Amino acid sequence: MKRLFLHENHKAYGAEFGPFGDWELPLHYGSLEKEPVQVRKTGGIIDRSFMGKLLIAGSDRLSFLQGMVTNDVKQVTPEKGIYSLVVTVKGKIVADFLVLGLEEAFLLVLQPELSEKVQTHLDKFVIASDVNLQDVSGQWGLFSVYGPSAPVLLKGVLGKEITQKDPLSVEVHTWNGHNVWLIHQQELGTLGFDILIPQEQAISLWEELRSKGGDLGIAPFGWKAYEVLRIEGGVPRYGYELDESVFPLEAEVENAVSYDKGCFLGQETITRMKFRGHANRLRIGFEAGGKEPPKKGDPILCEGKETGWVTSSAFSPFLQKVVGMGFIRRDFTAPGTPLKIKMKSGETEGKVCSLPLVGLKEKTG
């Protein structure tokens, strides 16, 4: 299995490792129960360097990417990124990612298992364009700092006041003589920042974040806690809420779609669904009884009929209840609608909830 560049650093700090796709990642640092709560109450840091990173360069990069992705790439600047999708000709989701603007290129940040898939998909359409696609995943470290004390930690590390900005706002800071990119986030239902740094400087920056974070109650957390926070925050994940059987409108990711930017691959179907029809099923949040989370694919029943299925779920130590996401027919998506989930161990009762289940509902991107 692949390992993080900082694997030995995480091991020295007490990380328990386990599989996460093709990677061996820190699952937790001693207490899965405490880590999600600590992130929400004070803060936490996580090493996300395994995320895929695709560089798109060449003089035709803007026109090419504009015709390939769902969002408006013309809005991307060195100070502002976008969330976008690649879809099939029929409008179903191939991948989701962030698009960031570098000086002479775009940088796509996406799940590691999607890098090769997206590169292969885009390569098919390059033809005569001056576009160069390069996987630069191993050249960048990516750390994320979440929680209410995150700006205080970043001020201590970067030496500048960090004020909250719109999601995907980008700042370039100098740290130890090197540029680092700070990307504002709200994806887990709490204040957050991604930090991109060249791999050569990544270990030193991580150790400084960890050391100075300890004085503020901010500690490393693992991928099991991240999954709990993701579900609480209502963040879709490819392979769970997103895949090639799902339309953007069904997944409630219209923030990744521009309806007035012009033509793009799959636009016709998406636009027709938006303005002439509707999605028959929608992604929803839910809470359920007991402490056993249902599994991906477990049926959801409303009024005694199977109306959908579970995509992600976890027990939330912060909320002290089972929470999750899934798809159900649009007639049953109103918050508060009673539901039942059929698990191997029996049925559990619950209700539909609005997303996010925790956090910044009033602050949207």
- Supply the pLDDT for residue 277: 86
| Mean pLDDT for the stretch of residues 326-354 | 97
pLDDT band at 359 (very low <50, low <70, confident <90, very high): confident
Give the number of other Cβ atoms within 10 Å of residue 266's Cβ.
24
| Mean pLDDT for the stretch of residues 193-199 | 97
Ranges of each domain in the chain: 1-278, 280-353
Mean pLDDT, rounded, of the chain = 95
Domain 280-353 in CATH 2.40.30.110: yes
pLDDT band at 365 (very low <50, low <70, confident <90, very high): very low
pLDDT band at 14 (very low <50, low <70, confident <90, very high): very high
- Supply the pLDDT for residue 360: 58
In tens, the pLDDT along 263-304 reads 999 999 999 999 998 899 999 999 999 999 999 999 999 999
Residue that wins the pLDDT comparison between 234 and 278: 234
- The CA–CA distances, whole Å, from 24 to 142, 240, 296 equal 16, 20, 22
Q: Is the pLDDT of residue 153 over 80?
A: yes
Regarding pTM above 0.85, the answer is yes
- Supply the pLDDT for residue 362: 33
| Mean pLDDT for the stretch of residues 136-157 | 97
Q: Is the pLDDT of residue 192 over 90?
A: yes
Q: Is the pLDDT of residue 361 over 80?
A: no
| Mean pLDDT for the stretch of residues 163-177 | 95
pLDDT band at 41 (very low <50, low <70, confident <90, very high): very high
Distance CA 49, CA 134 (A): 17
- Supply the pLDDT for residue 109: 98
Compute φ and ψ for 236, nearest 5 degrees: -70, 150
- Supply the pLDDT for residue 133: 97
In tens, the pLDDT along 237-264 reads 999 999 999 999 999 999 999 999 999 9
| Mean pLDDT for the stretch of residues 224-244 | 97
Which strand ranges, in their side-by-side order, compose the sheet holding 2-3? 2-3, 23-28, 16-20
pLDDT band at 187 (very low <50, low <70, confident <90, very high): confident
Q: Is the pLDDT of residue 363 over 80?
A: no
CATH H superfamily, domain 1-278: Probable tRNA modification gtpase trme; domain 1 (3.30.1360.120)
